[in-house]
Amino acid sequence: MKKIKFLIPIVLGVTLFSCQQSKEEVNNCDKKIVPTEDQMDFLGITNKDKLSAASKRALLWDEELVKGNDWFFSYETYDLKGDLAYEEGVVRRDPSAMIKHDGKYYVWYSKSVGPTDGFGGDIENDKVFPWDRCDIWYATSKDGLTWKEEGLAVARGEKGTYDDRSVFTVEIMENDGLYYLCYQTIGGLYNVRTKNQIGLAWSTSPNGPWTKSEEPILSPADNGIWKGEEQDRFAVIKKGDFDSHKVHDPCILPYKGKFYLYYKGEQMGEAITFGGRQIRHGVAIADNPKGPYVKSEYNPISNSGHEICVWPYNGGIASLITTDGPEKNTVQWSPDGINFDIKAVVKGAPHAIGLNRTADNEKEPTEILRWGLTHEYRTYNYQYIRGFKTARMIRHTAKGVVKGKEVKVGDQK
């Protein structure tokens, strides 16, 4: 019988197979599921002739993935020292990946000052979100722990430009002797129906100066229709594509001779589903880092997610999916950068990860996650950048003893 490959939501966490969809065929397929003694022992199945729906699904899991732990990890966060330590009255958030130049790590991030006013007042002059009225700054560090803020990298544009309100959520790419920063932009008034876009800046040095693109390199789809004139982002006649409202969290990766721009899409009339917010990822592809970028016809390429966190691995692209949707808190991998399968379900992950691009990402699937940067909310008004580290979870034990030997508290190996 022909089988089709499909993804099961987060409760399964691996790629599964099933019979085709007619009820008669599914019933016939179910009757043919006969577990081996090893499967019954590993999965704790009581009676091979009385299989629950959960047991039937488990028997179709990819056994190598289920019993392996190469993609599974736990994490913890910690404070940084120097200029990236928490500073009252200042927002520093959404760190980029780190690169290394002249013996120093570099990171870029969104920076603004003052509290958030929200949408209840004068949106022409107020600050409606923590990432509103941001500029992009950068910092350097010799050890990844103590950081020095170097100054402004990319500022908001002049009045009337597409990025005159805010530039934020930045990512770095180094390619062929040039450095590229891609980031979100807002121009004009910032209301709940404002459509964010993506901009680009480039330089011959990570210290700048940076030349900005005159126009956005990516914009939301234009096939949704708002309902009425009231500022209500959930009132729609037609929702449109998965990215009909906003394109967020850009990250460009050189891949297979082209440039893959991964991004988060927010849809007009965004719903709350059984997985939470209706957030998905997409990709746009270009022959040149500066574009033009063409959205993939296969978009969206995820069912879940929030901030983009992607890295090359084993000839494909790996992705950490967090926060929103039925497949949140999963690590996924694609052999072609578009079609992703779930490799692991993790307990959680840091927000807005800034990867360490100097890591040997081919050493093992999550080596690039061993340490990096994240942001944390001290309050809704103020966020700051912190560090994180992860460890592979190979076994779990009672405190103090592993097979009769003492271990350090917190040891996960």
pLDDT along the chain (413 residues), means of 10: 37 38 42 86 93 92 82 96 98 98 98 95 93 98 98 97 98 97 97 96 98 98 95 95 98 98 97 94 98 98 97 98 96 98 93 97 96 97 98 79 50 43
| pLDDT in the model for residue 31 | 56
Q: Could you tell me which residues are beta bridge partners of residue 365?
A: none
Return the pLDDT at 403: 59
Task: Specify the CATH superfamily of domain 73-392.
Answer: Glycosyl hydrolase domain; family 43 (2.115.10.20)
113/116 Cα distance (integer angstroms): 9
Q: pLDDT value at position 4? A: 36
User: Dihedral of CA 185/189/190/194: which sign?
Assistant: negative
30: phi then psi, degrees, rounded to nearest 5: -55, -40
* pTM more than 0.75: yes
Domain(s) labelled CATH 2.115.10.20 in the chain stretch across: 73-392
Q: Tell me how crowded residue 345 is: count the other CB atoms within 10 A of its CB.
A: 18
Q: How far is 95 from 89, CA to CA, in rounded Å?
A: 18
Expressed in percent and rounded to 5, the helix, strand and coil fractions of the chain are 10, 40, 55
